[in-house]
Structure 1
């Protein structure tokens, strides 16, 4: 609220207390209180009826003698009236519910989180995601601190969903997309719906099969031909004629391992592979070995690939 508006509200309140307010000014003040009351963020399941709580607030204030009789006509909008009254005496009241942040960290396996608005977030291995226990503001804001995540955002036009990932912000109303964050390099790939991606100096809008990549050179928009990689979060995965590079990237998402090929040309090899949910990494590597005759040697979080 601007200082000019606060000053005018204070002026109206003072006139009302002195019984010098006109009918038009009284209607203006009541309209403002009603608007504040109607637009107030409120969780009825946790806080009860807005009307009942407002009436109780006003009752308690009145009992302590802080509200004059002439102000009693606004009891219906007591919650908003309390805020305006504080502005009138020069005190800004901004009560907020203490919202707890939850951080989820994955290691060598994937995980999923269902947010309070119904949004589903699938986290790849070696990822860190932070979100509020309860959304209380006009936006639904979360943060991807590390790794990869696939989002299926519940549609809510009144409360945009915003993901911060390093140097970019992704803003959506309801859609599905993948975000990758690795050493400060962020990318957003859209599966369904429309997405707005912004950095400090640039903004771009994405549609399905489009990706925005942020690096030291800025924000760039790209077209994505093959979307098979972005089904990594599913229980069963069917890969048809894809490169080993994509297979290894997908396995990195699911199991947190890095692949080190002795010959990078082998990454262009194409295979068809079915990954059933619950299979161990060893089982999957045995399948790839059967098709390609490549050899895999695990060492810690790295798998060496050779002919």
Structure 2
């Protein structure tokens, strides 16, 4: 098809080939994009000043020999040497066009590459949660102390961005023809239209799916996840650990609350330690395994600890840097 497109843009296509290109363009949007790319390269190439180093007469003799040989092989009854010289040998026109297209492609790629670099947006949250709507309508919510990089406008066959560090929730706009890919270190999360949470740091990453289907790939390993499923990636060992998320605590920075539904107290404490950077301990294993059903508002830690104390008739004891529930 590329050969026909070359002939089409340089005006050497036959009526049948022009009809074939017309039908091909109607098949899907990606074909239109490819055609526009070819035409852009051709228009750009017109500005390039090139000097032919071909011997016209020698090239014509070679061209006649090739065509005559092909005719003799296809139809032995036709006499060779009957080809008359034309003003524009199509084969050499096509060969020259290919070289011009290559030169033009290099120029266009170079220009577009550096323009794309200049249009990258860096979203950094520092000490607050940030939300932004991307060019395709997808929404990204960045947790505190997180950094994401994405283009001002998505181009090409994919929508790609990077979560450099921290945590983010993605609500991706559906577009089957342009998959959405989030790069995390040397791994990639690929979706069409779905919502999921990624937590990424230097040593490991966690991906939790809320809706839709997500593919997580690293090197030659690909894991497919469905709603409520998650995968942990250990960058050091390269191991994937797939499992089920039994709560929605990963959403706390978006919803501003911790929703516990028959959740073991040790799990609630685990999340509180991570979010508030404290050291809460439960020495009594029986108490640690008791279950809690309530909604805890994100804010000061003391009111949360007070709710836990009332729910389990427990005491909160501060010992240095430790907080003990007993």
TM norm structure 1: 0.66
Superposition RMSD on alpha carbons, in Å? Answer: 4.5
Give structure 1 stretches of 5+ with no counterpart.
43-49, 71-82
Structure 2 CA distance for aligned equivalents of residues 166 and 189 of structure 1: 17
Does structure 1 retain, via aligned residues, the 8 Å contact 2:260–2:295?
A: yes
Do 2:212 and 2:226's aligned partners in 1 also have CA atoms closer than 8 Å?
A: yes
Which 5+ residue runs of structure 2 have no aligned equivalent? 51-86, 88-96
Task: Give the distance between the partners of 1:41 and 1:138, measured in 2 at CA.
Answer: 14
Q: 1:230 aligns with which of 241, 246, 250?
A: 250
**For 1:69-127, what per-residue CA distance to the aligned partner results, in whole angstroms no more than 9, with x for missing partners?**
x9xxxxxxxxxxxx979417676332424452222333444332222222122222332
Change (3 A) 1:110 1:284: farther
State the number of aligned residues.
Answer: 266
Alignment partner for residue 220 of structure 2, among 201, 207, 225? 201
Single out whichever of 259-268 and 133-142 deviates more from structure 2.
259-268
* Residue aligning to 1:23: 14
Q: In the aligned structure 2, how far is the partner of 1:91 from the partner of 1:141?
A: 22
2-structure distance, mates of 1:202, 1:133 = 30
In structure 2, relative to structure 1, the CA distance for the partners of 1:63 and 1:41 (3 Å cut) is: closer
Structure number with larger C-alpha Rg: 2
The answer to whether residue 263 in structure 2 is matched with residue 257 in structure 1 is no
Identify if the C-alpha distance between structure 1 residues 251 and 146 changes in structure 2 by more than 3 Å, giving closer, same or farther.
farther
SS in 1 for 2:181: strand
Aligned mates of 1:90, 1:224 — CA distance in 2: 51
Aligned equivalent of 2:92: none
Q: 1:186 Cα shift? A: 1.2
Give 2:310's aligned residue: 290
Q: How far apart are residue 191 of structure 1 and its match?
A: 1.8
- Change in CA separation of 1:154 and 1:226 when aligned onto 2, cut-off 3 Å: same
> Once the 2 structures are TM-superposed, how far is the Cα of residue 132 of structure 1 from its aligned partner?
2.0
**Segment drifting more, 96-105 vs 32-41:** 32-41
Q: In the TM superposition, what is the alpha-carbon distance from 1:290 to its structure 2 partner?
A: 3.3
Equivalences for residues 117-132 of structure 1 within 5 A:
117-132=136-151
Matched, 1:92 2:110: no
Conserved 8 A contact 1:236-1:276:
yes
CA contact (8 A) 1:202 1:219 kept: no
Which structure has more relative contact order (CA 8 Å, sep 6+)? It is 1
Question: Residues 89, 178 of structure 1: CA spacing in aligned structure 2 closer, same or farther, 3 A cutoff?
Answer: closer
- SS at structure 1 position matched to 2:278: strand
Work out whether 1:111 is the aligned partner of 2:111.
no
Aligned in 2, Cα 1:239/1:201: closer, same or farther, shift over 3 Å?
same
